[in-house]
Structure 1
Amino acid sequence: MAAVLQPPSSLPTARLRLAPRGAVSLRVDGAWWPRSHHLLTELPPLISALPPEWGKIVTVTVNTQMWGDAPGRILAGHHVVRLRRESVWRSRHTVGLFEPDHGRRDLLVVPPELAPEDAEYLMAAVAAYGH
């Protein structure tokens, strides 16, 4: 059995914008702007920042082209979250969040190196329109 790695204790707040509830036929459910490509540091604050109605996220799908190495499981939001890595090109800039009762939700991942004004503009647009 693989070890579950714990994130650092002092985590910054996630930079996250979500589309309005009840929005119809969204391609993504919001946008997330991580500070780095290090999943062990970035995922715990993201999962903790999600609204309660999203439920308990148990699996996160990430693209291998965007993220550095990470364990198969991490501790996030006070529970173990399984990481699935994919190399599908079309999902390069998204992260999939799975919850058993509510299904899958996708967030656009804004590259950490993007200029703040561009990242804020992109996040606001995604939150407003969901695509």
Structure 2
Amino acid sequence: MTTPTPTDRVRLRLKPEGPHSGYVDGAWWPRSADLTTEIPDLLAALETRIGPVDRVLYKLSEWAHAPAKLPVGTRRIRLDGYRIQPPHTVEVLGFNRNRVVLLVVPPDASPAHAESTMSDAAAPVRTTTIDA
């Protein structure tokens, strides 16, 4: 039996790499509202896309309390919570200035709703706003 890798455990859908289209680059369906538990696997899955991660921006009211810095592997990642962060999003910033903005599907969403939302958010030509 093989041990699942972080990319196997994270529920993530990304648009194909290419010209930016729309506000989000894909969607993430975390299993809980505990950012410190959820973020390590997400960052591991995103490193192939944006390189080493420096910061994660999130909306304060949507997650349990998180520290300002979180040890992930050999690094400490900045977790910056804001009241004005667009709702249901996280923004992941790499050291090399690459970034990914993800629509966050609520952990308690039904599988059917989550799959539909994630597919829509990851559609290559999707240009709608987060509210849509």
TM-score, structure 1 as length reference: 0.83
User: Which of 106, 111, 116 matches 2:111?
Assistant: 116
Q: What is the percentage of aligned positions where both structures have the same residue?
A: 39
2:10 aligned to which of 11, 14, 22: 14
Partners in 1 of 2:118 and 2:73 — Cα distance?
23
Task: Tell me the equivalent position of 1:103.
Answer: 98
Separation (CA, whole Å) in 1 of partners of 2:27 and 2:20? 16
Helix, strand or coil at the partner of 1:20:
coil
Cross-structure match for 1:3: none
Equivalent-residue separation in structure 1 for 2:19 and 2:112 (angstroms)? 25
Say if 1:30 and 1:109 are closer, same or farther in 2 by CA, change over 3 A. same
**In the alignment, structure 1 residue 38 sits paired with structure 2 residue 34:** yes
1:29 aligns with 2:25: yes
- Decide whether aligned partners of structure 1 residues 78 and 118 sit closer, same or farther in structure 2, where only a CA change above 3 A counts: farther
CA-based RMSD:
2.0
Aligned residues: 121
Runs of 4+ in 1 over 3 A off after TM superposition: none
1:41-79 Cα distance to aligned partner (Å, 9 max, x none): 100010011152311111100101100101111122542
CA separation of 1:82/1:38 partners in 2, compared to 1, >3 Å: closer, same or farther?
same
Cα pair 2:50 2:99 within 8 Å, conserved: no
What are structure 2's unaligned runs of at least 5 residues? Answer: 1-5
